[in-house]
Chain A
Amino acid sequence: MTDTTALLEVRDLAVYFRGAAGVARAVDGVSFFVDKGETVALVGESGSGKSVTALSLLRLIDPPGRIEPGSVIRFEGTDLLALDEERMRQLRGRRIAMVFQEPMTALNPVFTVGDQVAEVARIHEGASRADAWKRAVQMLARTGIADAERRARDYPHQLSGGMRQRVLLAMALLLSPALVIADEPTTALDDTIQAQILDLLRTLQQETGSAVLLITHDFGVVAEMAQRVLVMYGGQVVEAAPVRTLFAAPAHPYTAGLLRAMPRIGSRRTRLDAIPGTVPPATAWPSGCRFRDRCAHEWEKCASEAPVPIEVAPGHVARCHLVSDPARRAAANLAGAPT
């Protein structure tokens, strides 16, 4: 049977937080898809809405935050936003799992790591204590933890940061979920350990056939891991493209800025090009294009009219007026090689 529908399809996702400072539109009209087994990177600065997007896929948004009506999250053909809480709970950890950024705080300090991996099997499959423990030890061994039998009896604080991240991967992948959401899984780790963990994630992904939604702000990680990239800014996906396309020909000034801000070996320049300014608060996005305050190519249309996603090429979409204005786009020279 050929399956033409995506594993995960998100359409017009909006998550608002209503507080004293007004309505924070943290995620505002996000649409994307993830196919079976593929790795999609979700890139953006802090405050761009990446993590809120990830948590809303698991429906773990706490009040005052709310997934707004009109949002659609379709996973394996099921409308997740229409599920009751119990059915949703059964999906979490079994079909959709999450790997968190901080392996220290994401583990409970009062239980052994073996216990915490085993808990996943106990929750979802009602496995016996002994059986769940055995599977946990096997899984820990698969994540490359030497002497897993003994290490499983350790508490989180007895393990190194890299080992703890291996434990989190073991928890997430124990039940071979169809989708793994990895929220900056290597940000808290040393570079050498980071490479090992990414390798491991890729290996486990091949074994389980899981798709990965990889949240990161590191284009090095993106290049190494992902097939497609989604760039978020201001609670919206501003550009989506296959990895090679995005690196070679970014269509949104924000993406181009992020790429230029990346250090490169062999470059003769001593300063990095930072994007001026910071992400505005989610309660006060500018009118029109949300990036225009920080954009070097702004003109009148950017303030008066909010850009909609426009197809640049098949599979390549950008939310920028430059796309529909070839003259200005050529002048902006977004893909221009950094000198």
Chain B
Amino acid sequence: MSAPLRRVQVAAVVLGAVVLAAIIGPWLWHVDPNAVGPLATAAGLPPSAAHPLGTDENARDVLARLLAGARISLAFGLLAASVAAVVGAAVGILAALSRPWVDRAYMSVVDLGLAIPRLLVLIIVTAGFGRLPWGWLAVTMGVTGWFGLARLVRARTRELASGDFSVAAFALGAPTWRVAARHLLPNVTGTITAAAVLAFANAITLEAALSFIGQGVAIPTASWGSLINEGRAQLGVTPWLTVLPAIAIAITVVAAGALADGVERGAPWRSTGGAA
């Protein structure tokens, strides 16, 4: 077995474990993540049998909040990545198959989108609309995050569209939509998947960044980002409040990155098409 394949497998197992924890964790550790305990006796407790990862300054159970945060953060990333993948792939493929001036118009929009700092846009949006429900925040993140993906998909589609089997399909009389749907899309799914996995990791870190400056998902909903934000005031006293969600984010992002890398490099479609 090749080393890249092993890396992808490890990454997939790690990511799978995180997702599994998010899905079944809150059932197994049946504690309300938002239940406030007696502040005088239960706030800022270190790990113990009753609270395996301790409690925060509001006497809430950290393990329960971490698991609940995983659900929100992962769902957030998934939703944002899905929006980015669908919009980006559609624009990328359309641009690649359009007349040169239409292609240039699409790509100007992409260049503009890439030129504007995304965090700034998100801060302005959240400041303007107040605290958005997390779902809408995720959609907003997807809508502002498809530009790079569109460019990748366009490049790959152009390469494939000038390749032999696309020309052959046109030469057999296949209409453009058929070439796009039957011949190009199945061959760019690798690129789309890889870019979407990265967009997923990106969305999770961006949400954390937004939460850190108090513009992320609305309190008291727990996300990994909001947990870091809540814990940072007590960093010296109760460091686990900040460190644990940070580690969760790091593990998820690194695993997603490795997975995307493997999908992009190890896949058989890298060696097909293109040759004119």
Contact = CB atoms under 8 A, between A and B. Distances in A.
Given A62-B162, A98-B168, A100-B168, A105 B272 contact: yes
Contacts of A108: 165, 169, 182-183, 186-187
A100 B173 contact: no
Nearest to B165: A108
Nearest to B184: A108
A41 interface: no
A24 to B, nearest CB: 16
Given A62-B162, A63-B100, A106 B172 contact: no
Contacts of B182: 108, 111, 119
A89 interface: yes
Interface of B is mostly: helix
B173 A98 contact: no
Contact-residue bracket for chain B: 20 to 34
A49 to B, nearest CB: 16
Interface of B: 99-100, 162-165, 167-175, 178, 182-183, 186-187, 268-269, 272-275
Nearest to B167: A60
Given A102-B164, A123-B174, A109 B100 contact: no
A120 interface: yes
A118 B182 CA distance: 13
A58 B171 contact: yes
Given A60-B170, A62-B162, A119-B182, 9 more contacts: A58-B170, A60-B171, A97-B172, A98-B168, A105-B164, A105-B275, A108-B183, A119-B174, A172-B172
Nearest to A183: B171
30 contacts: A58-B171, A60-B170, A60-B171, A63-B100, A91-B173, A92-B171, A93-B173, A94-B173, A100-B164, A100-B168, A102-B164, A105-B165, A105-B272, A105-B274, A107-B165, A108-B165, A108-B186, A108-B187, A109-B269, A109-B272, A110-B187, A111-B182, A111-B186, A119-B169, A120-B173, A123-B174, A123-B175, A123-B178, A124-B173, A168-B168
Contacts of A90: 173
A171 interface: yes
A120 B182 CA distance: 13
Contacts, number: 79
A212 to B, nearest CB: 15
Contacts of A110: 186-187, 269
A124 B178 CA distance: 12
B172 to A, nearest CB: 4
A153 to B, nearest CB: 17
B173 A89 contact: yes
Contacts of B172: 92-93, 97-98, 119-120, 123, 171-172
Contacts of A109: 165, 187, 268-269, 272-273
A58 to B, nearest CB: 6
Interface string A281-302: 0000000000000000000000
